[in-house]
Chain A
Amino acid sequence: MARVLLNVPRSARRGDVITIRTLIQHTMETGYRPNAQGEVVPRDIIRRFTCTYDGAVVFEAELSPAIAANPFLSFTTVATRSGPVEMRWEGDNGFAQTETRSIEVT
């Protein structure tokens, strides 16, 4: 399991625009970089990030090797209902990780 840093507000008022910040530990190997032996290291990146909240995908991103190592993503969503905010990363070599945080909407 890769380490993650997630910033999802614990509580919000209904209708508030909340900011979600995510960072996951990953090398994001570009596939262009030579190693110490001069051989090109094969690509190993996170290709897709999905955030699901209140029954719908609220944010989805396709990443390219141009995204820095330990990909950071920040986006917003409207607080609609108390419940889980699910974040999923998928990538090369079968990389997949899902993290869930719950939010209390009043």
Chain B
Amino acid sequence: MLAPRRLVLAAPALLLLPRGAQATLNEMQDAMRAFTGGAAVTRGRVAMDISPLVENGNTVPLSVIVDSPMTEADHVRAIAVFNERNPQPHVITARIGPRAGRAILSTHMRLATSQTLHAVAAMSDGSFWSDSAQVVVTLAACIEG
């Protein structure tokens, strides 16, 4: 364990992330395409609940709620969350179904920096819906030693 003082002194050096440790917008779009299979994604029906100003990027509560009756005929098949500027674009993919009753997913995630998050829901009729959220992070995850 580093003493807190040493950790503080080392912090500026640790901020220099190696190149390539950040996902690009293209990588995120590739990850989203892998989830949707290239189908068109429409904005709406999905609501992302995340604090717009995050003090600590190590544990950020995140909820995704999808507007769906969750019946056998019309339900959400899967919910996926992507980010633009963490080292990897994928956050979580949850597979649910009519037995979920409601389409809600909550978890805690890491944020490497201020960025935009995207949630995509796959419906039983084959359509895809999405929402995005902008988050400002003051203390980033993934950098302290």
Residue numbers of A with Cβ under 8 A of B are 17-19, 21, 30, 32-36, 38, 53, 56-78, 80
Chain B hits for A57, CB < 8 A: 95
- Given A30-B87, A33-B145, A59-B100, do A67 and B58 touch, yes or no (CB 8 Å)? no
Q: Which residue of B lies closest to A22 (CB)?
A: B107
Interface bin, chain B: 35 or more
Q: Which residue of B lies closest to A65 (CB)?
A: B88
B14 close to A (CB within 8 Å): yes
Determine if B93 and A62 form an interchain contact, defined as CB atoms under 8 angstroms apart: yes
Chain B hits for A53, CB < 8 A: 99
Q: Which residue of A lies closest to B103 (CB)?
A: A76
How distant is the Cα of A18 from the Cα of B108 in the complex, in angstroms?
A: 20
Determine if B83 and A76 form an interchain contact, defined as CB atoms under 8 angstroms apart: no
Which of B2, B96, B102, B109 is close to A68, meaning CB atoms less than 8 Å apart?
Answer: B109
How distant is the Cα of A32 from the Cα of B141 in the complex, in angstroms?
A: 10
Determine if A62 and B104 form an interchain contact, defined as CB atoms under 8 angstroms apart: no
Which of A56, A66, A75, A78 is close to B86, meaning CB atoms less than 8 Å apart?
Answer: A66
B25 close to A (CB within 8 Å): no
Determine if B60 and A61 form an interchain contact, defined as CB atoms under 8 angstroms apart: no
Which of B60, B102, B108 is close to A17, meaning CB atoms less than 8 Å apart?
Answer: B102
Measured between C-beta atoms, what is the minimum distance from B28 to chain A in Å? 12
How distant is the Cα of A76 from the Cα of B96 in the complex, in angstroms?
A: 9
Q: Which residue of A lies closest to B80 (CB)?
A: A62
Determine if A77 and B93 form an interchain contact, defined as CB atoms under 8 angstroms apart: no
Determine if B99 and A74 form an interchain contact, defined as CB atoms under 8 angstroms apart: no
Determine if A78 and B100 form an interchain contact, defined as CB atoms under 8 angstroms apart: yes
